[in-house]
């Protein structure tokens, strides 16, 4: 058994390529668990961050600093009464959240967390991701229609029209990034996600900095389009409470509504992963070519441990700052335990980083490398997630006609222009 | 089980084609007739891609891509015609769409 | 060359996948033409399109799979659902599903089916594999060369590609003009 695990950990291909179903299943379960934890954490971070942006505290009661609030929300939603409108189409009403959930989660099979840490490296990876995330539109449309009520119907039509419009700009921005992968010696690019990051590695530049400012413009277009694609602020007219009483998921209650929220957050993480893979170098650490010495490798491999150490320190400071009233005793103990857990993970990672620098093929070194790849990828995606929350706290909502005008009259011409100029510059530079 | 040959895919394509033809001939709802036409086009695509694998070159796949493009254009125009007609006569029944000019 | 073997590794349980996917495609195709509610029929058509896309994947055509999912399932079916929601009137769900002359249509389709079956039975020897097996990893690149390449070497479809874009332009113009209230 340890031989089996070791022989797999040392392989250089994804389980899908190797035809290894057992490891593919393990990866799928890890991704499923990871995305669920990420969605729960996103829920907490969003409420706390929005609250701090608005100079208030956010949830503080349920756990220490509200850490158990998402779990309380999940339990509440599961125990809520499941109301189905009487005239609604029963089967379609039941199926609609599942379509969105399937579309949001199927995308994760091709997201590369490392050079061999993906479930499967399809050679049409990015095309598959764009296609499956466009299946999410169907879930929205069908959900609005099945509710048999006019607010959800209008919300669904508006939301799906917005998603379809911004998919065009998104696709063109993606095409201009794929075009940059073909600017190598052999002149052939690739559509596979791992291949795109490896192309950035070979060309020695993250695509955001390539042909400056074209890569940056493409990323900006993609970033704006992905906010509109996931119906987040400032493009959340279709689901904002003050506008359409929650739009296409008005009539959904309890567990079904939580499925919609789950698919929305999962779609956010998925499109952020596309942005990170295509423009920000995927799993590569910062400055891979400029700072190339083994000493720099070691310093950057300490980062995961140091991050968890920082988080543990913040949690400890929170424990120390809690009032010493007996009312807070349980919360203090809880937060101290959480801080100790974070510190333990930090210790584990630091030990692995130190032990892995000497030998190159030992278990610790491979573990360390794998952790490094996943860490940098997740860190970059987390930056995008934080930007999502920041935009929601900062900007007012777009009116629907302004939204459609921007999608078709501003984003589409700019992305076409970026594509054409990238192609011209690429031909000149080769 | 026997290995899957080209004939298996052709049989599936033929079945989808016949189902599409039945749908076009029998249904009364115009939208479902248009959806049956999409079924027919998919059956043809499946045949083309199966033959492309049989001959070992990519002409069938390129033709299939062109058919998909064509089906998109045709669905858009057909549904546009349907909406323009619906605005005048408020029906989606094929039997009632029988006037050239009113 | 064994049609079940990939050029690199053996795929897993290929006949099982084929029968499941083909069964799903044919059954949901049957549901498309028999369901009363148009939205249910559209959902069945989506299932058909996705099963046919998976069949393309089994035929070593990953790029056509991607195009089918993006264009057909993600674009055309959204268009259909929009139009169904716009023209959905209660009267249409209470009418008869089928024409008055449905036996004639069914008989014609049965004749067509008999024609197909006899063609397959008689010509079974024609459908054997010839030519090299398709390499899956450079599929996109080869299709791109055929679509965008120079007219002399491999680019046989460049002109057709440009005409297809013109066709799409005409379709967009037609759809926009037809749905305007005043031309």
Bridge partners for B29 per DSSP? B93
Which DSSP letter does residue C4 get? T
Within 8 A by CB and 6+ apart from A187, the residues are A430
C-alpha gyration radius of chain B: 17
Question: What tens digit of pLDDT does each residue of A251-268 get?
Answer: 778 888 889 889 999 999
- The Cα–Cα gap between A111 and A270 comes to 8
Q: Is there a contact between C80 and B31 (Cβ–Cβ < 8 Å)?
A: yes
Mean pLDDT across the stretch A21-27?
84
Neighbours of C16 (CB within 10 A): 10
Mutate to test the interface with A, among C70, C135, C168 (most CBs of A within 10 A): C70
For C69, the closest of A91, A131, A160 (CB atoms) is: A131
Task: Report the chain B residue with the minimal C-alpha distance to residue C79.
Answer: B76
CA-based torsion, A291, A371, A284, A230: positive or negative: negative
Of residues A273, A262, A315, the one with CA closest to residue A43: A262
C5 confidence band (pLDDT: 50, 70, 90): very low
Q: Is there a contact between C36 and C97 (Cβ–Cβ < 8 Å)?
A: yes
Give me the phi and psi of C99, to 5 degrees please.
-65, 170
CA-based torsion, A221, A222, A228, A234: positive or negative: negative
What is chain C's percent helix, strand, coil content, to nearest 5?
70, 0, 30
- Asked if the structure places residue B64 within a domain, the reply is yes
Which of the given ranges, A19-33, C36-50, C136-150, has the highest pLDDT on average?
C36-50
| Least Cα separation, residue B93 to chain C (angstroms) | 7
- Asked if the structure places residue B87 within a domain, the reply is yes
- Asked if the structure places residue B16 within a domain, the reply is no
- The Cα–Cα gap between A149 and A160 comes to 17
- Angle separating helix axes A136-146 and A90-106, nearest 10 degrees: 160
Neighbours of A386 (CB within 10 A): 14
Whether C39 and A142 lie within 8 Å, measured CB to CB: yes
- The Cα–Cα gap between A255 and A261 comes to 10
Task: Report the chain B residue with the minimal C-alpha distance to residue C68.
Answer: B68
Question: What tens digit of pLDDT does each residue of A176-200 get?
Answer: 999 988 888 777 888 999 999 999 9
Q: Range of B66's domain?
A: 29-95
- The Cα–Cα gap between A195 and A181 comes to 9
What integer best gives the mean pLDDT of chain A? Answer: 87
What was the pLDDT predicted at A69?
92
For B83, the closest of C86, C89, C143 (CB atoms) is: C86
What was the pLDDT predicted at A358?
63
Chains that touch C (3 or more CB pairs under 8 A): A, B
- The Cα–Cα gap between C70 and A133 comes to 9
For A21, the closest of C12, C69, C136 (CB atoms) is: C12
Mean pLDDT across the stretch A373-395?
93
Domain CATH code at residue B39: 1.10.287.3510
CA–CA distance from C131 to each of B52, C10, C120, C124, C144 (Å)?
10, 20, 21, 18, 21
Check residues C144 and A360 and name the one with the higher pLDDT: C144
Q: Is there a contact between B69 and C164 (Cβ–Cβ < 8 Å)?
A: yes
Check residues C50 and A122 and name the one with the higher pLDDT: C50
Which DSSP letter does residue C104 get? H
- Asked if the structure places residue B11 within a domain, the reply is no
Q: Is the pTM of this model over 0.80?
A: yes
| Least Cα separation, residue C55 to chain B (angstroms) | 8
Contacts of C124 in chain B (CB under 8 A): 7
Token pair in block for residue A250:
């008005």
- Asked if the structure places residue B54 within a domain, the reply is yes
Residue C34, pLDDT above cutoff 70: yes
Token pair in block for residue A96:
């609609």
Chains that touch B (3 or more CB pairs under 8 A): C
- The Cα–Cα gap between A85 and A270 comes to 32
What was the pLDDT predicted at C15?
86
Q: Is there a contact between C179 and B83 (Cβ–Cβ < 8 Å)?
A: yes
Residue A348, pLDDT above cutoff 70: yes
Residue with tokens 């930056």: A383
Neighbours of A299 (CB within 10 A): 14
Q: Cis ω on the peptide bond leading into residue C170 (within 30° of 0)?
A: no
- Asked if the structure places residue B40 within a domain, the reply is yes
Whether C80 and B4 lie within 8 Å, measured CB to CB: no
Residue A382, pLDDT above cutoff 90: yes
Token pair in block for residue B75:
């669905």
Mean pLDDT across the stretch C122-132?
79
| Least Cα separation, residue C106 to chain A (angstroms) | 29
Helices (H), A54-149: 69-79, 90-106, 125-134, 136-146
Bridge partners for B93 per DSSP? B29
C9 confidence band (pLDDT: 50, 70, 90): very low
Chains A and B touch (3+ CB pairs under 8 A): no
Question: What tens digit of pLDDT does each residue of C74-113 get?
Answer: 999 999 998 988 887 666 667 787 888 889 999 999 999 9
Token pair in block for residue C122:
């008689």
C7 confidence band (pLDDT: 50, 70, 90): very low
Question: What tens digit of pLDDT does each residue of A83-113 get?
Answer: 888 877 788 888 999 999 999 999 999 999 9
Half-sphere exposure of A150 (CA within 13 A, CB side): 0
- Asked if the structure places residue B61 within a domain, the reply is yes
- The Cα–Cα gap between C92 and C85 comes to 12
Give me the phi and psi of C71, to 5 degrees please.
-80, -55
For B62, the closest of C32, C48, C157 (CB atoms) is: C157
Confirm or reject contact between A170 and chain C (CB < 8 A). no
Whether B79 and C55 lie within 8 Å, measured CB to CB: no
Mean pLDDT across the stretch C132-155?
80
Question: What tens digit of pLDDT does each residue of A135-170 get?
Answer: 999 998 898 888 878 778 888 888 889 999 999 999
Of residues A247, A219, A217, the one with CA closest to residue A235: A247
Extended beta strands in B1-102, E state: none
What was the pLDDT predicted at C4?
35
What was the pLDDT predicted at C6?
38
Contacts of C172 in chain B (CB under 8 A): 76
Q: Is there a contact between A258 and A76 (Cβ–Cβ < 8 Å)?
A: no
- The Cα–Cα gap between A4 and C170 comes to 59
Of residues A102, A99, A77, A87, the one with CA closest to residue A147: A87
A351 confidence band (pLDDT: 50, 70, 90): confident
What was the pLDDT predicted at C2?
35
Bridge partners for C98 per DSSP? B27
Q: Is there a contact between A165 and A404 (Cβ–Cβ < 8 Å)?
A: yes
What was the pLDDT predicted at A300?
87
| Least Cα separation, residue C179 to chain B (angstroms) | 6
Contacts of B89 in chain C (CB under 8 A): none
Please report the domains of chain C, with CATH numbers, ordered by start residue: 10-92 (1.20.120.1200), 137-183 (no CATH)
Confirm or reject contact between A154 and chain C (CB < 8 A). no
CA–CA distance from A150 to each of A144, A235, A256, A260, A370 (Å)?
9, 21, 19, 19, 50
Task: Report the chain C residue with the minimal C-alpha distance to residue B65.
Answer: C64
Residue C43, pLDDT above cutoff 90: yes
Mutate to test the interface with C, among A127, A144, A408 (most CBs of C within 10 A): A127
- Angle separating helix axes A255-279 and A363-394, nearest 10 degrees: 110
What was the pLDDT predicted at C139?
87
* Coil vs helix vs strand at B1: coil
Residue A297, pLDDT above cutoff 70: yes
- The Cα–Cα gap between A407 and A415 comes to 11
- Asked if the structure places residue B22 within a domain, the reply is no
- The Cα–Cα gap between B56 and C130 comes to 7
What is chain B's percent helix, strand, coil content, to nearest 5?
80, 5, 20
Of residues C116, B70, C63, the one with CA closest to residue A127: C63
The structural domain count of chain B equals 1
Mutate to test the interface with A, among C78, C87, C168 (most CBs of A within 10 A): C78
Whether C70 and A122 lie within 8 Å, measured CB to CB: no
Mean pLDDT across the stretch A233-253?
72
> How many CB pairs (< 8 A) connect B and C?
253
Question: What tens digit of pLDDT does each residue of A37-73 get?
Answer: 999 999 999 999 999 999 998 898 888 888 899 999 9
Q: Cis ω on the peptide bond leading into residue A98 (within 30° of 0)?
A: no
Exposed/middle/buried for residue C122 (C-beta within 10 Å: 0-12, 13-18, 19+):
exposed
b/e per residue, A66-75, with b = 16+ CB within 10 A?
bbbbbeebbe
What was the pLDDT predicted at C135?
77
C-alpha gyration radius of chain A: 23
Question: What tens digit of pLDDT does each residue of B16-75 get?
Answer: 999 999 999 999 889 999 999 999 999 999 999 999 988 888 999 999 999 999 999 999
Which DSSP letter does residue C90 get? G
Of residues A85, A103, A107, the one with CA closest to residue A94: A85
Q: How far apart are the first and last CA of chain B?
A: 61
What was the pLDDT predicted at A252?
79
Q: What is the ipTM of this complex?
A: 0.93
Contacts of C136 in chain A (CB under 8 A): 123
């Amino acid at each position: 058994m340890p031989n089996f695990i070791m022989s797999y950990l040392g392989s250089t291909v994804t389980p899908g390529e190797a035809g290894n179903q057992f490891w593919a299943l393990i990866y799928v379960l890890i991704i499923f668990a990871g995305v669920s934890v990420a969605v729960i954490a996103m829920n907490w971070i969003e409420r706390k961050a929005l609250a701090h942006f608005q100079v208030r505290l956010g949830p503080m009661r349920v756990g220490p600093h509200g850490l158990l609030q998402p779990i309380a929300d999940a339990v509440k939603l599961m125990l809520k009464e499941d109301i189905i409108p009487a005239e609604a189409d029963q089967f379609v009403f039941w199926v609609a959240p599942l379509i969105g959930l399937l579309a949001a989660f199927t995308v994760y099979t091709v997201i590369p967390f490392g050079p061999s840490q993906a479930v499967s490296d399809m050679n049409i990876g990015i095309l598959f991701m764009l296609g499956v995330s466009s299946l999410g539109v169907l879930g929205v449309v069908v959900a609005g229609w099945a509710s048999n009520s006019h607010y959800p119907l209008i919300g669904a039509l508006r939301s799906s029209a917005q998603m379809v419009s911004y998919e065009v700009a998104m696709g063109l921005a993606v095409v201009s990034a794929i075009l940059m992968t073909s600017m190598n010696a052999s002149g052939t690019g690739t559509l596979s996600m791992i291949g795109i990051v490896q192309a950035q590695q070979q060309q020695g530049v993250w695509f955001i900095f390539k042909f400056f400012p074209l890569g940056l413009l493409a990323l900006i277009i993609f970033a704006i389009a992905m906010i509109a694609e996931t119906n987040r602020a400032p493009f959340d007219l279709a689901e904002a409470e003050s506008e359409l009483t929650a739009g296409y998921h008005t009539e959904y209650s309890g567990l079904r509504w939580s499925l919609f929220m789950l698919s929305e957050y999962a779609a956010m993480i998925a499109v952020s992963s596309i942005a990170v893979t295509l423009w920000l170098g995927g799993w590569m650490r910062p400055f891979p070519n400029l700072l190339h010495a083994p000493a720099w490798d070691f310093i950057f491999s300490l980062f995961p441990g140091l991050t968890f150490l920082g988080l543990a320190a913040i949690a400890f400071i929170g424990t120390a700052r809690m009032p010493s009233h007996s009312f807070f005793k349980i919360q203090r103990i809880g937060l101290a335990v959480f801080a100790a857990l974070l510190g333990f993970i930090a210790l584990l990672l630091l030990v692995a980083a130190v032990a892995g620098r000497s030998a190159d093929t030992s278990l610790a070194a491979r573990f360390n490398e794998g952790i490094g790849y996943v860490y940098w990828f997740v860190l970059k995606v987390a930056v995008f997630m934080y930007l999502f929350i920041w935009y929601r706290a900062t900007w007012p909502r777009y009116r629907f006609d302004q939204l459609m005008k921007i999608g078709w009259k501003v984003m589409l011409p700019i992305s076409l222009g970026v594509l054409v100029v990238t192609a011209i510059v690429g031909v000149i530079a080769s | 089980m026997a290995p899957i040959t080209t004939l298996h895919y052709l049989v599936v394509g033929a079945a989808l084609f016949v189902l599409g033809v039945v749908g076009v001939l029998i249904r009364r709802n115009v939208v479902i007739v248009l959806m049956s036409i999409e079924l027919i086009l998919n059956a043809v695509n499946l045949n083309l891609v199966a033959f492309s694998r049989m001959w070992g070159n990519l002409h069938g796949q390129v033709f299939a891509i062109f058919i998909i493009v064509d089906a998109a254009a045709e669905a858009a125009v057909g549904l546009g015609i349907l909406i323009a007609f619906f605005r005048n006569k408020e029906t989606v029944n094929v039997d009632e769409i029988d006037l050239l000019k009113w | 060359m064994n049609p079940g073997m990939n050029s690199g590794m053996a795929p897993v349980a290929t006949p099982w996948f084929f029968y499941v996917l083909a069964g799903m495609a044919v059954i949901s195709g049957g549901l498309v033409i028999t369901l009363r509610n148009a939205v249910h029929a559209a959902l069945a058509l989506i299932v058909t399109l996705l099963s046919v896309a998976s069949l393309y994947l089994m035929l070593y055509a990953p790029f056509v799979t991607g195009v089918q999912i993006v264009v057909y399932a993600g674009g055309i079916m959204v268009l259909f659902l929009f139009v169904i929601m716009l023209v959905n009137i209660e009267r249409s769900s209470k009418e008869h599903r089928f024409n008055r002359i449905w036996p004639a249509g069914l008989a014609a389709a049965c004749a067509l089916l008999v024609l197909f079956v006899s063609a397959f039975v008689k010509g079974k020897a024609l459908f054997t594999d010839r030519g090299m097996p398709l390499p899956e990893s450079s599929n996109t690149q080869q299709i791109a060369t055929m679509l965008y390449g120079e007219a002399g070497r491999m680019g046989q479809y460049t002109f057709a590609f440009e005409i297809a874009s013109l066709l799409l332009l005409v379709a967009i113009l037609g759809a926009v003009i037809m749905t305007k209230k005043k031309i």
